[in-house]
Amino acid sequence: MAPYAPTDGISKLAIDQSKHFTEALKEAFKSSGDQQKVAAEKVSELVGGDANLNLGVVSQELRNALTGNDADAKIVAAYVVDDLMQKHAERVEAYLVPLLSVFLDLLADKKPTIRPVAQEAALTIISSANKNSTIRLLPILFAGLDRSKKWQTKKGSLDLVAELSTIAPYQVGRCLPDIIPQVTDCMWDTRKEVKVAAKETMTRVCSVVGNMDIEPFIPALVSCLTNPTEVPECTHKLASTTFVKTVEAPALAIMEPLLKRALAEGKTAVKRQAAVIIDNMCKLMDDPAEAQLFIPKLLPGLKKVIETQADPECREVATRAHETLFVAGGSMEVSEDELKVDYENINKVVIESIAASPAAVKAEIDNFTVDYVTGICYFLVVARNFNKAVFEKEISAYFKAFMNAADLKPLSNEIRDRCFKENKSIFIEDVDCDEGIPDLCNCEFSLAYGGMILLNNARLRLKRGHRYGLCGPNGCGKSTLMRAISNGQLEGFPSRDELKTVFVEHNLQASEAELSVVDFILVDEDLKNTPRKEVEDTLADVGFTPDMQAQGVGTLSGGWKMKLELARAMLQKADILLLDEPTNHLDVKNVAWLENYLTGLTNVTSIMVSHDSGFLDTVCTNIIHYETRKLKIYKGNLSCFVEQKPEAKAYYELESENVKFTFPEPGFLADIKNKGKPIIRLTKCSYQYPGTPKPSINNISVTCALSSRIAVLGPNGAGKSTLIKMLTGEVEPTSGQVWKHPSMRFAYVAQHAFHHIESHLDETANQYIQWRFQSGEDKELLAKETRKLSAEEKEHYKKPVNWEGEKRVLEEIVSRRKFKKSFEYELKWEKCPVEENAWVPREKVREVGLGQAFADRR
């Protein structure tokens, strides 16, 4: 950062118009003792009450007094600055902040009466100034740490840096990479007072890190800066720490000195531990721009360990840390110069924006104000805060003394837009924007889910009639982005009144299952006034026969449900179609129909997520790719995209999947000596959904063995899912017989993702598993049709049965045990003690008419 040194540019006319202030100040200089403060307050009141007073003259006159030889004038001038900053900071800070360097020099003044007054004025300046001007205050304070300065000035500068950490902790945190080297140098000063102050300041500035994982180690980190022998021990402690909090730039900034020293240590163990710390911390970095700040500082040390270290395990850990840091920084290696925000560039932006505004040119904004506003804009760019409201608030506070309120917003927006254009990331730009085609949207936004940042200051530009494939690794937020667009939760995205967006997904609610297909569409809020005939015609166009239109939605297969959602979207006449895995439930014929439908929409834009690479190849005109929490648009279909980004091929290859499931080995089944022997058999089974004119499945027979690997194929609506449900007991056949081995267990993964959990959406995964198995039995099994008793069966079980000469009523089946080649069941009788429970063979239970009570028990 360059030192703060605005040019005054004060005209002779301005000096002449400010003579009354000059005279009042000279009069105040004549006072002494307690009257000096009173006289200074009168001068301050004069400045505060005169809106036309040239504050540049005020600043210059005060500077002249503070740098002169008159001790009384110095004290009065310091009191004036102190009072003005306390009472009129917003109006005068641009003119008085540059005087901070003078007060730092006065801390070493020969006359002891001047030092405390100067210290008080300096503290008031930093505490009253705009917090976002901290980045401009720091170079003044750093200049006070120069070797040529007296020790009192150094100590006073360090004390003020420490105070800033309390006054503006966020701003100090963003500036830690600049602060730490300056304060570290002072920790080696020859003067004891400076060394003590430097250590205290370092501890205080490091406390702004806001990371609970690191805070306990701050004293040790500070001590390491002056005691290199402590580096191994401190590194060992940090390597043993489990980092769980998100790591931001301030946290890595205070760790950087230790990590650089540890990587240069002679001991292999210390180098390995340093690499472990870098790996662990960088995994928790959400912002690539922050990680990039440390790539030029830490990556060379890791490279050296990889290239020179003899221990293969240490090299492996360093390689892993290198990769983690590289990926965290956006998979780009950049130099420190490339990452620096240029202050002169920001100053140029502010001056050019003022020159482009007739109202600002006419206002003749002085150099003091321009330089001060530049410093604030400089910090906002460093912090990557391009919020228009923030820019307007910060800039208007200082330009309102020169301009009308109506002209402030356009000027602040112009400065903000230019700052963004000049400093936005150059590595996340779209390859092609098709300038000749009208935009549907061109917005910048951030997106988070829970505590995770998915997109940070990402730009999305959509063209009318284009078909975009949304690509990225699992969990990056593709469906979350589409849902945010659909729900109108995306900042800057056009509202539903301007742009009609429809989200097409397989998401039928249980409450809608009984509705007919036509009524299902008509209950939609956007379609309730649509003529019924238009709905029926559209459904017919996508293949729904009159009989299918009349049947309940819950009886439709997964493929037909997806076609129903597409028909609803067609009726809504969307500008943007959002499709989440649209081909998942469609057969080949219907996938081809969907491809033709989408490619025929020349006026409708589509965004789709799919793992069907053939579908994306056929349909897409562009690919939107998640890259370092940004969105990058590539021209062409999936194949063209993979040519440019070969690593993206992994999204569609099964063998590249990171998550693997290992299923436990099942136990032995009694009497099943070989894997070809049947364990389940369906014989002449049929099933007809209630309310439908004909069976979905008719007179089928299926036999499965342990060695069976069966694929069920057929067009949408052929009854594939119904067959699986009959095998698992989700439904019971209308006719026919089902036999299963009594010890066989089923694991059922339904076509609809929420099949089992739609009644538990507010529970965590852990809570759901606890609920499901808390009694030692799978509660989901109790919901199966084969486990449910009809009213007639319940009535039948209330009837007494003959048992050992007595009439008894079954209360429950308690347990089961192996008996020869079959099983025995423990029956509990009503109004009988446990001691009279009976162990009854399976065949006998069936004979007495209690077979359904143990059917499908596991």
Q: Which pLDDT belongs to residue 444?
A: 82
DSSP string for residues in 597-642: HHHT-SS-EEEEE-S-HHHHHHH-SEEEEEETTEEEEEES-HHHHH
- Would the pLDDT of 753 be above 70? no
pLDDT above 70 (res 3): no
pLDDT single digits (tens) 219-259? 988 888 888 889 899 999 888 887 777 788 888 888 888 89
* Comparison of pLDDT for 368 and 6, the residue scoring more: 368
Output b/e per residue, 260-274; b: 16+ Cβ within 10 A. bbbbebeeeebbbbb
- pLDDT tens for residues 352-394? 999 998 888 888 888 999 999 999 999 998 888 888 889 999 8
pLDDT top residue among 831 and 854: 831
For domain 341-423, give its CATH number from 1.20.1390, 1.10.10, 1.20.120, 3.40.1360.
1.20.1390
Whether 97 shows a pLDDT value over 90: the answer reads yes
Residue 708 confidence (pLDDT) above 80: yes
Q: What mean pLDDT value characterizes the chain?
A: 83
Task: List every span in the chain annotated with CATH 3.40.50.300.
Answer: 439-655, 678-755
pLDDT tens for 735-746 read 888 888 877 777
What's the confidence (pLDDT) of residue 426? 40
Fold of 789-854: OB fold (Dihydrolipoamide Acetyltransferase, E2P) (2.40.50)
Provide the pLDDT for residue 429: 45
**Which DSSP letter does residue 424 get?**
S
Query: Residues 775-801: pLDDT tens digits?
Result: 777 777 666 666 666 677 677 767 787
Return the pLDDT at 732.
Answer: 84
On whether the CB atoms of residues 421 and 381 are closer than 8 A, the answer is no
Residues 6+ apart with CB under 8 A from 676: 705, 706, 707
- Model pTM score: 0.59
Rounded mean pLDDT of 214-219?
88
Residue ranges of the chain assigned to CATH 1.20.1390: 341-423
Q: Half-sphere exposure of 78 toward its Cβ, with a 13 Å CA cutoff?
A: 28
Task: Answer yes or no: is pLDDT of 425 > 60.
Answer: no
Each residue's pLDDT tens digit, 176-193 = 888 998 999 998 888 999
pLDDT at 433 over 60: no
Q: Give the span between the Cα atoms of 159 and 162, in whole angstroms.
A: 5
Most confident region among 52-56, 584-588, 603-607 by mean pLDDT: 603-607
Q: Is residue 335 over pLDDT 90?
A: no
Q: Is the pLDDT of residue 68 over 70?
A: yes
From residue 749, alpha-carbon distances to 662, 719, 740, 761, 786 in Å are: 15, 17, 19, 17, 18
Q: How far is CA 285 from CA 245, 329, 475, in A?
A: 9, 9, 16
Residue type, 215: E
* Range scoring the smallest mean pLDDT among 60-69, 444-453, 697-706: 444-453
Phi, psi of 221 (to 5 degrees): -65, -40
**CATH (one of 3.40.50.300, 3.40.640.10, 3.90.180.10, 3.40.47.10) for 439-655:** 3.40.50.300
Average pLDDT over residues 261-269: 89
Q: Which CATH number fits domain 678-755: 2.40.10.10, 3.40.50.1950, 3.40.50.300, 3.40.630.10?
A: 3.40.50.300
Question: Can you read off the two tokens belonging to residue 233?
Answer: 């021990």
pLDDT band at residue 752, thresholds of 50, 70 and 90? low
Q: Which tops the pLDDT comparison, 336 or 111?
A: 111
Q: Can you give the pLDDT at residue 164?
A: 93
pLDDT at 353: 92
301-322 pLDDT, tens digit per residue, is 999 999 988 889 999 999 999 9
CATH 2.40.50.40 in the chain, residues? 789-854
- The Cα–Cα gap between 52 and 60 comes to 16
User: Containing H/E element for 686?
Assistant: strand 678-687
Confidence label for 428 from pLDDT (cuts 50, 70 and 90)? very low
Under the banding of pLDDT at 50, 70 and 90, the label for residue 459 is confident
The two most distant CA atoms of the chain are separated, in Å, by: 126
Better-predicted residue by pLDDT, 669 or 653: 669
Tokens of 488: 């109108």
Distance CA 80, CA 240 (A): 54
Nearest to 588 by CA among 606, 615, 567: 615
